A and B are shown apart, each in its own frame.
Chain A
Amino acid sequence: MSERHTRRLHTLVVDDADRAVAAVSSLRSEGYHIYDVHTPFPVHGMSEAMGLRESRVSIATLAGAGVGVLAGLGLQIWTSAWDWPLNIGGKSDLAFPALVPVTFELAILAAAIATVAALVIRSRLCPLGHTPRTQPHQAVSDNRFVILVEETDGEFDPKAFWARVRALEIDEYTEAWRVS
Chain B
Amino acid sequence: MATSDCLISGEPSYEDVTREIAAPLERRATAKWWIAFAIAASLLTLGAVLVGLTVARGIGLWGLNKTVGWGFAITNFVFWVGIGHAGTLISAILLLFRQRWRTSIARAAEAMTIFAVMCAGLFPLIHMGRPWLAFWVMPYPNTRGPLWVNFRSALLWDVFAISTYFLVSFLFWYVGLIPDFATLRDRMSGWRKRLYGWLSWGWDGSAVSWQRYEKVSLLLAGLATPLVVSVHTIVSFDFATSLIPGWHTTIFPPYFVTGAVFSGFAMVLTLLIVTRHVLHLERYITAKHLDTMAKVLLTTGLIVGFAYATETFLAWYSGNPYEQFTFANRAFGPYAFGYWLMVSCNVVVPQVFWFERARRNVPLLFVASIFVNIGMWLERFNIVVISLSRDFLPSSWSHYVPSLVEVGIFAGSFGLFFTCYLLFVRIAPVVSFHEVKTTLFEQTHGRTSDPASTTTASRAERPEGVHV
Please give the residue numbers on chain A whose beta carbons come within 8 Å of chain B beta carbons, in ascending order.
16-19, 21-23, 25, 36-47, 49-50, 52, 54-55, 57-58, 61, 75-76, 79-80, 83-84, 86, 88, 91, 95, 98-99, 101-102, 104-106, 108-109, 111-113, 115-116, 118-120, 122-135, 138-143, 165-166
Judging by beta carbons under 8 Å apart, are A119 and B202 in contact? Answer: no
* Residue positions of B touching A, CB distance < 8 A: 13-15, 18, 139, 145-152, 156-157, 160-161, 163-164, 167-168, 171-172, 175, 178-179, 182-183, 185-187, 194, 197-198, 200-216, 219-220, 223-224, 226-227, 230, 234, 237, 433-435, 437-438, 441, 445, 448-449, 453-455, 459
Most chain A CB neighbours (cut-off 10 Å) among B171, B186, B194, B208: B208
Query: Which has the most chain B C-beta neighbours within 10 Å: A98, A119, A128?
Result: A119
Is B150 touching A86 in the complex (CB atoms < 8 A)? yes
Chain B residues contacting A61 (CB-CB under 8 Å) are 219, 223
Q: How far is the CA of A125 from the CA of B139 in the complex (A)?
A: 33
Chain A nearest CB from B139 CB (Å) reads 6
Residues of B with C-beta under 8 A to A43: 207, 210, 441
User: What are the 3 A-B residue pairs with the smallest beta carbon separation, nearest first?
Assistant: A130-B197, A143-B14, A79-B148
Inter-chain contacts of B459 with A (CB < 8 A): 18
Q: Can you list 12 pairs linking A and B with CB atoms under 8 Å apart?
A: A18-B454, A43-B210, A46-B210, A52-B208, A57-B216, A86-B148, A95-B152, A108-B223, A123-B208, A131-B197, A142-B18, A143-B13
Q: Distance in Å from the Cβ of B200 to the closest Cβ of chain A?
A: 8
Q: Which one of A42, A46, A133 contacts B204 once the chains associate, using CB atoms below 8 Å?
A: A133
Asked, given contacts A52-B207, A142-B14, whether A115 binds B151 with beta carbons under 8 Å apart, the answer is no
Q: Are B204 and A19 in contact (CB under 8 A)?
A: no
Known: A22-B455, A57-B219, A115-B223. A79 touches B206 (CB 8 A): no
Name the distance in Å between B107's Cβ and chain A's nearest Cβ.
14
Chain A residues with Cβ below 8 Å from B454 are 18, 22
A106: chain B residues at CB < 8 Å are: 160, 164
Bound Cα distance A143, B13 (Å): 8
B210 in complex: contacting residue of A21, A39, A138, A143, CB < 8 Å: A39
Residues on A with C-beta less than 8 A from B171 are 112-113, 116
Q: Across the interface, do A58 and B219 meet the contact criterion of CB distance under 8 Å? A: yes
Do B175 and A119 touch across chains, with their CB atoms under 8 A apart?
yes
B180 shortest CB reach to chain A, Å: 9
Q: A38-B207, A39-B210, A141-B182 are in contact. Are A109 and B151 (CB under 8 A)?
A: no
Q: Which residues of A contact B167 (CB under 8 A)?
A: 109, 112-113
**A141 → chain B, closest Cβ, in Å?**
4
Residues of B within 8 A of A37 (CB): 206-207
